[in-house]
Amino acid sequence: MASAEKPAPPEVAAPPAACLRVAVLAGGRSSEHDVSLASAGAVREALIEAGHEAIWIEVGRDGVWRRDGRAISLTPGDGVEGADVVFGALHGPFGEDGTVQGMLETLGAAYVGAGVAASAVCMDKVLFKDVMAALGVPQVEYAGIAAARWEADPDGALEAVSALGLPVFVKPAHLGSSVGIARVTRAEQLPGALAVAFEHDELAIVEAAAAGIEVECGVLELPENSGLLASEPGEIVYDAEFYDYETKYTPGGMELLVPARIGSAVRERVHELALRTFRAVGCAGLARVDFFVDGEQVLVNELNTMPGFTPTSVYPKLLAASGVSYPELVDRLCRLGIARHAGGGARRN
């Protein structure tokens, strides 16, 4: 079962909720453009199923926002195309990293999900882990390597990484969807892995390998400031060497087991850390928190402020297993965004 901070109030009859005009942002400038299109398409369908009007706005790889194929212009303080709320189903840089959130703040638009600061912190894997380390949250050992540092002092960078042992994982610091990741088992492989990461980002993160299984937990705000819901944890199962892009997005490449094969005490620990991490970075609306679980040990890996949003993506599946259907989930997130905007909360996150 899912875990909530407060018991849900008894159900009472309520009038039908008003129809919303929702601007759905799709695509984006990052390498996750196609993943975003799939997420946004599913969100649009769910909004229509829930009785809302969906305004499709596609953000091109060139950064131009288009509606019905025509570029649109936006005026500060004037919102987005007359929408009540914006659902930014964008992944990666220029979508999930605080840049679009800052633009929406300037436009005076209500929007789904984390605000500027939380989005920026969680998109930067090194900064996120630095914050978790400062708060004493258990996680794998890591080192951040900037491209400029690597060029100026490769021996010093290698020395910093050597303390992590082998194998290690090398990743671009600001990308999701397992793009640009390499598993390094021999020291001579490290320069090549860093070179691949630097093709995507000027900052790379090198992480020590973690034993055990990968477990993910969805977090969802409850209506009317009634707390947070931590979903039933799910276990990621795959046959590949590690959870790379092909494994994540190839049909049949991975299997999500809900509930995860963990004991009740570990399950409660996952819930505790998911909620603690969500609060620590000032998230809003939703997040997916990823873990490594080895026996009784639970380590936080990362927090995704806008996880994949197709009905077959992990986050919607976790919430569905916890009693929140996909149309209900999309509807709730839009209404949370509107309520937060009305209270000025978006600017604080």
Active-site residues, by number, are 32, 177, 249, 288, 290, 302, 304, 308
Cβ atoms < 10 Å from Cβ of 100: 24
Number of H helices and number of E strands within the chain? 11, 16
Q: How far is CA 159 from CA 143, 187, 204, 210, 242, in A?
A: 10, 11, 15, 20, 25
CA 54 to chain centre: 22
Euclidean distance between CA atoms 70 and 57, whole angstroms: 10
Contact between 301 and 141 (Cβ < 8 Å): no
Q: What is the DSSP letter of 188?
A: G
Structure tokens at 260: 């995860």
Closest C-alpha among 79, 89, 17, 99 to residue 56 = 89
